[in-house]
Amino acid sequence: MLDSEDPNCHVAEEEFSIGDELIVAPILYAHTSHRQVYLPAGVWKDGIDGSLRKGSRWIYDYKVEENEVAYFERMPDDTRF
């Protein structure tokens, strides 16, 4: 859990953090290629496509190919996009 004050961090299922810098959101079920992901406050770099994403929000219908693992790396606070 990256932010104990953010209630969404308590309910984000099937994703986990590694330290405060990385969120991993794997696909856990067969024949599934989409999932939802919650990103806490901050700016996050998408490990699959390299795009920057603003936190404190859900990503719905996030596509993950069979040979990929979704992960997001926290960027420095002064990152602009």
Per-residue pLDDT tens digits for 3-45 = 667 666 666 678 898 998 999 999 998 999 999 999 999 999 9
- The number of angstroms, rounded, from the C-alpha of 46 to the middle of its chain's C-alpha atoms is 8
**Could you tell me the pLDDT band of residue 77, with boundaries at 50, 70 and 90?**
confident
Size (the chain), residues: 81
Q: Which is nearest to 25 in space by CA: 50, 48, 43, 8?
A: 48
Q: Is residue 74 pLDDT above 70, yes or no? A: yes
pLDDT at 4: 67
- Please say whether the beta carbons of 55 and 40 come within 8 A: yes
Q: What does the pLDDT read at residue 7?
A: 60
Choose which CATH entry (3.30.70.1450, 3.40.50.970, 2.60.40.1180, 3.40.630.10) describes domain 7-74: 2.60.40.1180
Contact between 27 and 64 (Cβ < 8 Å): yes
